[in-house]
């Protein structure tokens, strides 16, 4: 179950002393990258799937240095 896997991951991160902001940043980067791949690099579809505005997605991609790529 996803909740159990997430709980184990959070426990491991806490035990290793990962800071909250670092955890959030890494999660966002990976989630956005995966969703971009799932939507063949289409920003509009990805933004809709993430529930954020296209401009917000573009800003986060610049911030995290995420490149558009189709999979």
Q: What confidence tens digit (pLDDT) does each residue in 9-43 have? A: 999 999 999 999 999 999 999 999 999 999 999 99
In a domain? residue 29:
yes
Number of domains in the chain: 1
Q: Is the pLDDT of residue 70 over 60?
A: no
| Full residue range of the structural domain in which residue 58 is found | 19-71
In a domain? residue 44:
yes
**Element of type H or E holding 21:** helix 20-38
CATH number of the domain at 32, please.
1.10.10
In a domain? residue 48:
yes
Q: Is the pLDDT of residue 45 over 80?
A: yes
Tell me the pLDDT band of 68, cut-offs 50, 70 and 90.
confident
Q: Number of H helices and number of E strands within the chain? A: 4, 0
Tally the residues of the chain.
71
In a domain? residue 42:
yes
In a domain? residue 1:
no
């Amino acid at each position: 179950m996803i909740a159990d896997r997430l709980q184990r991951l959070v426990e491991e991160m806490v035990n290793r002393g990962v800071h909250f902001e670092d955890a959030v940043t890494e999660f966002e980067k990976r989630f956005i990258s995966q969703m971009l791949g799932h939507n063949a690099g289409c920003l509009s579809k990805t933004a809709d799937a993430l529930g954020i505005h296209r401009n917000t997605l573009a800003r986060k991609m610049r911030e995290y240095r995420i490149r558009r790529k189709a999979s």
